[in-house]
Each structure stands twice: as C-alpha cells, then as structure tokens.
Amino acid sequence: MSTREEKMEAFGRFLDILDELREKCPWDKKQTNESLRPNTIEETYELCDALIRNDKDEICKELGDVLLHIAFYAKIASEKGDFDIKDVCDRLCEKLIFRHPHVFGDTQAETAGQVSENWEQLKLKEKGGNKTVLSGVPAALPSLIKAYRIQDKARNVGFDWSQKEDVWDKVKEEFEELQVEISNMDKDKAEAEFGDLFFSLINAARLYKINPDNALERTNQKFIYRFNYLEEKTIKEGRNLKDMTLEEMNAIWNEAKRNE
C-alpha cells in the first residue's frame, strides 16, 4: 500500500493535471455545473454497477471518474471565488469529527446501530444541518432507495417496529388491500396500494438487514442472464421467440436456471 506522502503526491498531481486541462482543453474549459451534472449521475451509476459485480479494476477506474467530478465542481467554484477543494476537505473533516464523538470525544458507542442513531441526532444539531428528521433525504433519490432511507431515518429516532416479525402482518394487510382495489378495477387506488405494498416490503427488508436495492438488482441480473440464454439458444436453433410457445420458452428458461 502507498505511504501517506505518496497519496498526497498523487492527489497533488491529479489537481495539477485538472488545472492544466481547465486552462488548455477546449472541452474542459467550457464545462459548467449544469453540463457536468448528467455525466456525474452516469459515472455514479457506473461505479455502483462495478461495486455490484465486485470488479476491482473497474471499481478503481470508476472511483477515479467520480473523484474527477468532485474536484471539477470544486475547481469551477474556485474560479467564481465561492470555495475550493481545500474548503471541501476542511468541511468534510469538521463534519466527520463532529459526527464521531465516540472516536474524537467522550461519547460511548459500542455498535454500528448506536453510531447510526447518534449520527442522525447530531445532524439535527448541526448549524445549517437538517431541520427535520426526513429533510436530509434527497428528493431526487430513486423511489426504492428513498423509501429505505426514509424508514432508516425514522428508525434512528425510535419510530420503528418493536418486533421485526410484526412487519409481515403489515405486508399481508397491504397485499389484501391491493387485491381489493384490483378486484374493484380502481386503477388509481390500486396504484396507491401497490406503493403501500412495496413500502412495507422494503421495510421488511430493512428489518432483516437486507438491502432491497441490491436484492432487486441481483434479480435483474439473474433475469437478464436467463433471458439472454433463452434468446441466444433460440437464435442458434434458427428460431424466433415470437414463434415459440410459452412452454417451449420455459423449457429453455429452466435450462438456464440449471446452468447458473
């Protein structure tokens, strides 16, 4: 592993390169916060994809891409006289020290759960911090992740099931309410009940320490593999999926399951 001096040298070299690109490269010179934002979202998702696949080389590469965007936004801000990368680092350090009194102060926290609870309480006390428990949940988060974060933040202030097993009664209740609205053919109410059912399932996942986003993505990848297998085998046999029966497709699908 690199020494601290080597890490600092590498980071300084990176900042020097970014400065030169901003000055001399036509593309880099014209970038703004607004133009970079879509690329930042894309790079973040590419990092998440690499993390799910546990591709170490790709994780390293994508971390660099995300780091570039962080430094780029700081560079743009410095040109406007707003702040620079030092200010970003200083504010981060101050926040980390403030939110970890069990490390840098006298507070006791023996478990990760206690640390998480303290974190939310401290955020409410911070100057310029979140004014309410849920105000720190970004509005632009994907709905599944947002639901998980909402529930987790509520948990940190004691609003949670006393027994995790009780959540399954709620899941069953929401499923039955959904069935009623589907039977009534009320699309608007059925959509609302679908949302309630999803929310209760995400709550169950949280209580059982399962990340619902990771779980769903694993199923996505599993479906993609099986469907690609089905499609590729069908093409090799000179056939078309549209001309096959469901039974024929299921036979190949089950073959793909056995090959996993």
Q: Determine the Cα–Cα distance for residues 74 and 59; give it in Å rounded to an integer.
A: 23
Answer yes or no: are the C-beta atoms of 236 and 228 closer than 8 Å.
no
Residue pLDDT, tens place only, 134-175: 887 888 888 999 999 999 888 878 889 899 999 999 999 999
The distance between the two most distant Cα atoms of the chain, rounded to a whole number of Å, is 71
Query: Residue 132, SS3?
Result: coil
Alpha helices in 184-211 (DSSP H): 187-207
Answer yes or no: are the C-beta atoms of 122 and 100 closer than 8 Å.
no
Q: Where are the domains of the chain?
A: 4-83, 133-210, 213-259
Q: Which two tokens stand for residue 222?
A: 């599993």
CATH fold match for the domains 4-83 and 133-210: yes
Q: Determine the Cα–Cα distance for residues 213 and 219; give it in Å rounded to an integer.
A: 10
CATH class of 133-210: mainly alpha
Comparing C-alpha atoms, which of 189, 194, 209, 29 is closest to residue 112?
Answer: 209
Residue pLDDT, tens place only, 91-122: 999 989 988 888 888 877 778 777 776 766 77
Q: Determine the Cα–Cα distance for residues 170 and 203; give it in Å rounded to an integer.
A: 10
Q: Which two tokens stand for residue 32?
A: 């703004």
Start-to-end CA distance of the chain, whole Å, equals 36
Q: Which two tokens stand for residue 57?
A: 């080389």
pLDDT at 129: 58
Tell me 229's DSSP state: H
Comparing C-alpha atoms, which of 234, 170, 248 is closest to residue 202?
Answer: 170
174 Cβ contact list (under 8 Å, min separation 6): 193, 196, 197, 199, 200
CATH class of 4-83: mainly alpha
Comparing C-alpha atoms, which of 44, 199, 228 is closest to residue 52?
Answer: 44
pTM, 2 dp: 0.64
Q: How many C-beta neighbours within 10 Å does residue 136 have?
A: 14
Residue pLDDT, tens place only, 28-80: 999 999 999 999 989 998 998 899 889 999 999 999 999 999 999 999 999 99
